Amino acid sequence: MDEKNSVAEPNTVQATAASPPSYGDLNSIRDSFGQRFLDSFKRDTNVHVTCGNVSNTDGTGFDVEQAAQNTAHSPLQRRLKGRTGLFVGSGVVLNTGGPASVVIAYVLIGVMLYCTVHALGEMAVLFPVAGSFSHYSTRFLDPAWGFAMGWNYALGWLIVLPLEIVAASITIEYWSPGISNAAWVAVFWALIVSINLFGVRGYGEAEFVFSVIKVVAVVGFIILAIVINCGGGPERGYISGKYWHNPGAFYNNFKGLYSVFINAAFAFGGTELVGLAAAETANPRKSLPIAIKQVFWRITFFYVVSLTLVGLLVRYNDERLIHKSSSANTHASLFVIAIENAGIKVLPSIMNVVIMISVLSVGSSSVYSSSRTLAALAEQGQAPQFLAYIDRKGRPLCAVYVASAIGLLCFLAASDEQITAFGWMMAISGLSSIFTWGSICLSHIRFRRAWKVQGHSVDDLPFKSQPGIIGSWIGFIFNCLVLIAQFWVGFAPIGYAEMSASDLAYNFFSVYLAAPVVLAFYIIYKIWFRTNFVRCHQVDLNYGRRDLHIQHLISQEKVDQAALPAWKKFYKLFC
């Protein structure tokens, strides 16, 4: 073999026990690793996605079929295993509506999200394509609405990154007050960016570790809360439900309940990431249904049960809640306050560590979700073409760089204008999850209609939404109610009679600015490309499907499931 060929095939260098490598061979191995590392950042040459060209042949309108092909053939790596699970802690809402409002609101939003995630799961298992949320809106509703939803979702997560980094730096103040936030901001930014540069595997493994810590902490808190409530705390006796009587179960009347309803919706943000990960999951037909079914337990235990217990242990008028600090502020965390009230000295610091891990987890998820959404938009011709660059390791490298660069806004934490800056950033992204969930439910309704019109049966689906079409209608209506409630609370907030006109205007746009931004994206794109609403008989139900050649396997699985004993069928229903 000549010298040229030996250089072209560096991976042929081998070392055996009988013949140890020479120093020259070791240098070749090092060079090979370094070259492979550098080559991994190059564009994947094995894929041929035509980016940015999704216009009709006459140069007008939007070619939905071409967009479907691009996202279906996205070169994102499918190495994400069934480890990814996300839990985003709820904010301080007890002071807004009282403990009964918290329980009612979280149960209702939990029902809505349960229906929404199942609708998403049905579509994601059948069409595990890149940028699921915006793609489903483009494919089943209207390309203009898909464009608006894609940028709405991307902007929402792009803004979350600097916010969560600042929140993590605030958490550190619990142990090291007086140290500049900028130092911790730099550390956390570098950590989150590094996790995402390891690709989908790095993100998945990091999220697995984060999730295990958070699950153990929440289960431990539930057990501890029951013990404290029954009189097991060192400084308080039997508590039971006395705080529901004094100061009371409700606060601020019906508007307090509506406000908590909105906060509960925001607290669940990120649960839909299970669908976004579909395109990078090794076997979505196996892993996604399990992850989706587990949402029931997350909603039940991590939100409803834990917050019900918190409402039994903390008064809604506790002085530490009066300022309504951010949920990231550990001094206003309901979990920390409940433990401190019991007189337990060590656990508050442990809970603060968990809160910091939760915040970093959300920050990592923000880079992952925003970069994948931007790449999918670019593949559909709805974002700059360079964002569709995906390297040989399946990383949307340019999109990750853009998300990381916007994350540098976290250094505003050291600015005197940080409150104003972050307030307006939150306003732009505040309704992102609500629009996303509503679009998912409506897309599922249209998908089921198209599936039926084109002669398919629901029995042909590899995974069926447990609440079905009725659940999607429930989810869609609930999301509309949240938008109405947010408009009302923004227009006439609690205590609005004592506010000036300028304060009222600022309050409204600070909580509802996202709505006109979404409408602007939609209307401009609609007029520019003259897109049409997608008709049911026009929906392409083939591109991107992974079950086209495995119907016999699906049929056999259904036969096997029918033969299971009753107890195992019940177990499979939720697990």
SS3 436: helix
**171-175, 296-300, 524-528: segment of lowest average pLDDT:** 171-175
Residue 559 lies in a domain: no
Enclosing domain of residue 343:
75-544
Alpha-carbon separation of residue 330 from 200, 309, 351, 353, 358 (angstroms) = 30, 18, 9, 10, 12
User: 327-365 b/e with 16+ CB inside 10 Å = b?
Assistant: bbbbbbbbbbbbbbbbebeebbeebbebbbbbbbbbbbb
In this prediction, residue 140 carries a pLDDT of: 93
The candidate with the shortest Cα–Cα distance to 525, out of 149, 156, 158, 159, is 149
In this prediction, residue 547 carries a pLDDT of: 62
**273-277, 390-394, 440-444: segment of lowest average pLDDT:** 273-277
Task: Supply 312's token pair.
Answer: 């039994």
Backbone dihedral angles phi then psi of residue 287, each to the nearest 5 degrees: -80, -40
Query: Long-range contact list for 405-408, CB < 8 A, 24+ apart?
Result: 406/158, 406/159, 406/161, 406/162, 407/161, 407/162, 407/165, 407/189, 407/192, 407/193, 407/363, 407/367, 408/162, 408/189
Residue 554, pLDDT above cutoff 90: no
**107-111, 361-365, 384-388: segment of lowest average pLDDT:** 361-365
Task: Supply 45's token pair.
Answer: 């040459």
Residue 506, pLDDT above cutoff 60: yes
More confident residue, 401 or 277: 401
Percent of the chain with pLDDT over 70: 74
Please, which pLDDT band fits residue 468 given cuts at 50, 70 and 90?
A: very high
Residue 381 lies in a domain: yes
Which residue carries 């609005």 as its tokens?
496
Give the integer Cα–Cα distance in Å for 181 and 167. Answer: 10
Residue 101, pLDDT above cutoff 70: yes
Pair 475, 115: CB distance under 8 Å: yes
Please, which pLDDT band fits residue 63 given cuts at 50, 70 and 90?
A: low
Residue 28, pLDDT above cutoff 60: no
In this prediction, residue 550 carries a pLDDT of: 62
Residue 478 lies in a domain: yes
SS3 80: strand
Pair 14, 29: CB distance under 8 Å: no
More confident residue, 497 or 480: 480
For 274, what's the count of Cα atoms within 13 Å in the CB-facing half-sphere? 33
Q: Provide the phi-psi class of 199: left if phi over 0, else alpha when psi is between -120 and 50, else beta.
A: left
Residue 7, pLDDT above cutoff 50: no
Count, in order, helices (H) and strands (E) of the chain: 24, 0
The candidate with the shortest Cα–Cα distance to 367, out of 325, 327, 335, 397, is 397
Please, which pLDDT band fits residue 556 given cuts at 50, 70 and 90?
A: low
Residue 59 lies in a domain: no
Mean pLDDT computed over 34-57 = 50
The candidate with the shortest Cα–Cα distance to 225, out of 333, 331, 321, 306, is 306
Pair 372, 225: CB distance under 8 Å: no
Residue 456 lies in a domain: yes
In this prediction, residue 555 carries a pLDDT of: 67
Give the integer Cα–Cα distance in Å for 542 and 548. Answer: 8
Residue type, 389: Y
For 148, what's the count of Cα atoms within 13 Å in the CB-facing half-sphere? 24
For the chain, the residue count is 575
Residue 14 lies in a domain: no
Other residues' Cβ atoms within 10 Å of the Cβ of residue 135: 30
Residue 135, pLDDT above cutoff 90: no
Among 202-206, 307-311, 416-420, 560-564, name the most confident range. Answer: 307-311
Backbone dihedral angles phi then psi of residue 2, each to the nearest 5 degrees: -75, 170
- When the pLDDT of each residue in the chain is averaged and rounded to a whole number, the result is 76
Mean pLDDT computed over 354-378 = 85
More confident residue, 546 or 460: 460
Which residue carries 């508007």 as its tokens?
255
Q: Which stretch of DSSP H or E encloses residue 331?
A: none
More confident residue, 250 or 550: 250
Residue 287 lies in a domain: yes
Integer Rg of the chain from CA: 25
Spatial neighbors of 463 by CB under 8 A, at least 6 apart, are 121, 122, 125, 126, 285, 288, 289, 292
More confident residue, 411 or 566: 411
Q: Which stretch of DSSP H or E encloses residue 262?
A: helix 253-267
Mean pLDDT computed over 546-569 = 68
Please, which pLDDT band fits residue 115 given cuts at 50, 70 and 90?
A: very high
In this prediction, residue 566 carries a pLDDT of: 77
Q: Considering its fold, how many domains does the chain have in total?
A: 1
CATH of the domain at 286: 1.20.1740.10
For 313-372, list the strands marked E by DSSP: none
Spell out the SS3 assignment of 193-240. HHHHHCHHHHHHHHHHHHHHHHHHHHHHHHHHHHHHHHHHCCCCCCCC
